[in-house]
Amino acid sequence: MKHLIHWSIRNRFLVLLATLLLTVWGLQSLRQTPLDAIPDLSDVQVIVRTSFPGQAPRVVEDQVTYPLSTALLAVPGAVTVRGYKPVRRLLRLRAVRRRH
**pLDDT score at 78:** 76
**Is the pTM value of this prediction over 0.95?**
no
Interacting residues of 68 by C-beta distance below 8 A, sequence separation 6+: 48, 50, 90, 92
Longest dimension (CA), the chain: 82
pLDDT digits (tens, 9 = 90+) for 36-78: 777 777 777 777 777 777 878 788 778 887 888 888 778 777 7
